[in-house]
Amino acid sequence: MQQVTLNNCDKTMPAIGMGTVLSSRPGADPSETMKSALLEAIKAGYRHFDTAFIYQSEKPLGEAIVEAVHLGFIKSRDELFITTKLWCTFAQRDQIVGACKLSLRELQLDYVDMYLIHHPLRVSEKIQKFPVPKEMIHPLDIKGVWAGMEECKNLGLTKGIGVSNFSCKKLEELLSVAKIPPAVNQVEMNPIWQQKELREFCNAKGIHITAYSPLGAYNTIWGDNRVMECDVLTQIAKSKGKTIAQVALRWIYEQGVSLVVKSLNKERMKENLQIFDWSLTQPDLEKISELPQHKGFIMASSFGPHDFVMQLDAEI
């Protein structure tokens, strides 16, 4: 598997990771299906896994890792690259190390490879349901929270630290206070939401981008079919004897971006790994670059249509 070298992280990251969101909504229980699918993914060759405290997939991922070692699919956990994320209710200076340790306990790990701030906002109480009431949503104390993230790295709880859903503006703010600059910004990116400006900014600052919802979160309640039913991608896929998903993933990879794609289906998880031994042509790339753009993940749909949240949506 192709690897990505990151700043401020002494482990390389596989260019494709397995996503683990089923639903982040309270009450969701991804345990059993998730564990066997993740074991299948390790067997299929996935070595990078993307989880988060809020996904409730840390526990099944941890169990799948234990079993994968037991079954001999991998020799040790060190062969994997595990990303998890600080949830918004723990986004305060004195809660970060504890939150990271909580995630490690769920994962049954001593360290993660990447710890990300999930969103650039803080929620002051445990979320019982979405959307979240306005009085619970607060701006992020970037300086304090990042100091907590740096402490996690200095304590060896994580090899790298980074962010998710950060705009250029939020990254500027972060870079002005960071002792250890972020290695990664994980954001929505696919042919229908190409993030050209953010990519230029991150390239210039040495921040690696990981694309989430690379298939436009097809068939989920938070996504739609714009990527998987796109005519231009369909034509390119036909001309190459590839699937639309493979064309979308290959396009992301050719932009120098890593990606996390979710499939619990054995055939589709294998299909999504087959993107490294062929390439898109210049005319293909030009057609994709002209596709009309549409942002899929709207923070205001999760956190509520509050001014501060809508401002964050407008920035990224």
Ligand X SMILES: O=C[C@H](O)[C@@H](O)[C@@H](O)[C@H](O)C(=O)O
In sequence order, the 6+-apart residues with CB closer than 8 A to the CB of 27 are none
Question: How many residues does the structure list for the chain?
Answer: 316
Q: Which does 237 bind (CB under 5 to 8 A by kind): ligand NDP, ligand X, none?
A: none
Write out the two tokens for 173. Answer: 């703010």
Near ligand NDP in 217-256, by CB under 6 A: 217-220, 223, 243, 245
Half-sphere exposure of 60 (CA within 13 A, CB side): 25
Q: How far is the CB of 231 from ligand X (least distance, A)?
A: 27
Is 55 part of the annotated catalytic residue set?
A: yes
**130 vs 286, beta carbon nearer ligand NDP:** 130
Q: Which does 54 bind (CB under 5 to 8 A by kind): ligand NDP, ligand X, none?
A: ligand X
Q: Which does 24 bind (CB under 5 to 8 A by kind): ligand X, ligand NDP, none?
A: ligand X
Which residue number is nearest to ligand NDP in terms of Cβ?
Answer: 19
**181 vs 304, beta carbon nearer ligand X:** 304
Binding residue for ligand NDP, selected from 4, 9, 20, 152, defined by CB under 6 A: 20
CA-CA distance, 115 to 223, in Å (whole number)? 25
Q: Which does 245 bind (CB under 5 to 8 A by kind): ligand X, ligand NDP, none?
A: ligand NDP
DSSP one-letter string for 40-81: HHHHHT--EEE--GGGT-HHHHHHHHHHHHHHTSSS-GGGSE
The 3-state DSSP class for residue 254 equals helix
Residue 31 as a binder of ligand X (CB under 6 A): the answer is no
Which residue number is nearest to ligand X in terms of Cβ?
Answer: 24
Residue 309 as a binder of ligand X (CB under 6 A): the answer is no
Nearest of 2, 14, 27 to residue 184 by alpha carbon: 14
List of E strands, 59-157: 81-86, 112-117, 121-123, 137-139
Beta bridge partners of 259: 16, 211
Active-site option among 46, 55, 212, 253: 55
- Please report where in the chains the tokens 């993940």 appear, as a residue: 297
In sequence order, the 6+-apart residues with CB closer than 8 A to the CB of 225 are 216, 218, 219
Nearest of 204, 213, 198 to residue 181 by alpha carbon: 204
- Is 294 marked as a binding-site residue? no
Binding residue for ligand X, selected from 181, 302, 308, 310, defined by CB under 6 A: 302
Binding residue for ligand X, selected from 13, 18, 34, 54, defined by CB under 6 A: 54
Q: Which residues belong to the annotated binding site?
A: 118
For ligand NDP, the binding residues (CB under 6 A) are 19-21, 50, 164-165, 186, 212-220, 223, 243, 245, 260-265, 268, 271-272, 297
Catalytic machinery residues: 55
For ligand X, the binding residues (CB under 6 A) are 21, 24, 52, 54, 130, 222, 302
